[in-house]
């Protein structure tokens, strides 16, 4: 009797607790398929407008069975400090747009809205309190790498604030 009840009670506890099985390949919406080129482990090289560069490790992965994309970044900033950011992003069907929440230790969370203006280009942007806009464009390259361009628009001028290239890596963001 106990050998029958234990698995049954365990299954019941798991279903009541809301636990889910993490599938290796989640079922993605067409909107999430459009940004799936970002998924994976990456080595990044960022170039600042003043010519300084920085390297980092970046991970994009699907969580909650493909409902959200989790982003983790860690690198060494050229100023000598740890450079770290985390984000969660998804397609928001009610808004008809992507949303991205970005978190850093030294700032308030930022809420971006996004789109895919053309295949292989994912853009997120945010409006500042001064009316200026800033954002990030993610370009899928033909060789499977990614080019990221951070930008800001004040008035009519669009300036690039950071350029980053992604190369595929082995392991996660915490690996040496």
Q: 86-120, pLDDT tens digit by residue?
A: 999 999 999 999 999 999 988 899 999 999 999 99
154 vs 141 pLDDT, higher one: 141
Give the pLDDT score at 171. 56
The answer to whether the predicted template modeling score (pTM) of the entire model surpasses 0.95 is no
Written as one string, the DSSP assignment of 81-100 is SEEEEEEEEEEETTTTEEEE
Angstrom distances, CA of residue 15 to CA of 21, 64, 71? 11, 15, 28
Sign, CA dihedral 51-168-40-57, equals negative
Structure tokens at 70: 């989790």
Between CA 176 and CA 63 the distance in angstroms is: 24
Confidence of residue 173 (pLDDT cuts 50, 70, 90): low
Instruction: Return the exposure string of 44-71: e unless at least 16 CB atoms fall within 10 Å of the residue's CB, then b.
Output: bebebeeeeebebbbbbebeeebebbeb
List, for residues 30-89, the tens digit of each pLDDT value.
999 999 999 999 999 999 999 999 999 999 999 999 999 999 999 999 998 889 999 999
Q: How far apart are CA 139 and CA 165, in angstroms?
A: 10
- Separation CA 87–CA 35 (nearest Å): 14
Q: Which domains does the chain have, with CATH numbers?
A: 28-168 (2.40.128.20)
Confidence of residue 24 (pLDDT cuts 50, 70, 90): low
């Amino acid at each position: 009797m106990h050998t029958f009840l234990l698995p049954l009670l365990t299954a019941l506890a798991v279903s009541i607790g809301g636990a889910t099985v993490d599938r290796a390949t989640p079922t993605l919406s067409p909107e999430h398929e459009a940004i799936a080129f970002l998924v994976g482990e990456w080595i990044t090289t960022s170039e600042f407008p003043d010519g300084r560069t920085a390297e980092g490790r970046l991970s994009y992965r699907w969580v909650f069975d493909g409902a959200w994309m989790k982003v983790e970044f860690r690198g060494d900033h050229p100023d000598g400090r740890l450079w770290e950011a985390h984000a969660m992003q998804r397609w928001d069907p009610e808004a008809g747009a992507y949303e991205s929440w970005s978190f850093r230790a030294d700032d308030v969370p930022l809420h971006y809205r996004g789109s895919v203006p053309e295949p292989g280009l994912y853009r997120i942007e945010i409006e500042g309190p001064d009316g200026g806009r800033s954002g990030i464009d993610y370009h899928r390259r033909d060789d499977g790498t990614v080019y990221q361009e951070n930008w800001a628009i004040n008035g009519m001028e669009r300036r690039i604030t950071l350029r980053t290239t992604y190369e595929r890596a082995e392991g996660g963001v915490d690996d040496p």
